[in-house]
Amino acid sequence: MRDAEVQWRRREWQQPRFTKARNIGYVNGMYRISSPPEGVRPDIVDELWDHIEQPLPEAIARIAAREETGAHYGVLLNYAAAASVRHPDFAEWVNRRRNELGMSSVAGDEVHVDRVALLRRGLEQVEGFRWRFVHGPATGPRLVLNDRGWTYVGHQDRPGRGLWIPLNGQVGMLAWLQRGAAGGFEHLNLWPGWTTWLNTATWQDAPSFVVGHPDDGDLLGRLTCIDDVAPKLERVGPYRDRRMQGLFSDFL
């Protein structure tokens, strides 16, 4: 999969370009411990991700085919928790949070200590979310991914927000907190306009770039801002399956 051809568009580009997946989406040594204690491997943090990544392709394929089992849910919850601490601006984000709490900033290997601590906490938090697998339209636009891997989104013109995690070009995960309700997994199908809306939110929130299928150059090149997309949304709601339903089920 690292050799797959994709198209990507950086924030400063007007049009996307072709590349190989292996050429983008990583930072050399980002998780490496520079001064590991005796007996600790410098890449021990990086090795954590192997346990998450190895079962992920099968789990995503099963979700896309709606043939998943409970074990696949666990794989994807682990991925969601890890995504919150693996993005390229994690150090900046964690220091902003620490400063808000009156704590001192961290740097170097201390960032990785916080990274692992927050991963453990994230695993507990995601189990308390409501979850929905959202499928793009069969003949409409595919989903795109940004270099953070996730985006906070809110239903158009309504309060609240949820966590949007694209998994591949056909399906993504939507999570949100709902008082008195946790867990649960269901499948719903998007209208094309709302697929474009989620792609636009993904683009607007990208730290550096978005990436998509090699045939999606036109789609990537047209990404602008939410205000341009909102007037074109289907007024019956985001989903073909449930009319007048919000992105989140607590917005009935």
Arithmetic mean of pLDDT, 138-150: 93
Q: Indicate the average pLDDT of the chain.
A: 91
Q: Is the pLDDT of residue 209 over 80?
A: yes
Predicted confidence at residue 231, as pLDDT, reads 87
CB 116 within 8 A of CB 45: yes
Residue-range domain boundaries for the chain: 31-232
Q: Over the stretch 172-207, which tens digit does the pLDDT of each residue have?
A: 999 988 776 777 789 999 999 999 999 999 999 999
Q: Is the pLDDT of residue 25 over 50?
A: yes
Q: Is the pLDDT of residue 159 over 80?
A: no
Q: Over the stretch 50-88, which tens digit does the pLDDT of each residue have?
A: 999 999 999 999 999 999 999 999 999 999 999 989 987
Arithmetic mean of pLDDT, 4-31: 93
pTM: predicted TM-score of the whole model, two decimal places: 0.90
Helix residue ranges per DSSP H, 54-137 = 56-64, 70-86, 90-100, 109-126
Q: Over the stretch 90-121, which tens digit does the pLDDT of each residue have?
A: 999 999 999 999 999 999 999 999 999 999 99
Residue reference for tokens 């990274």: 115
Task: Please name every residue paired with 8 in a beta bridge, in sequence order, or none if there are none.
Answer: 17, 211
Q: Is the pLDDT of residue 252 over 60?
A: no
**DSSP per-residue codes, 78-99:** HHHHHHHHHSTTHHHHHHHHHH
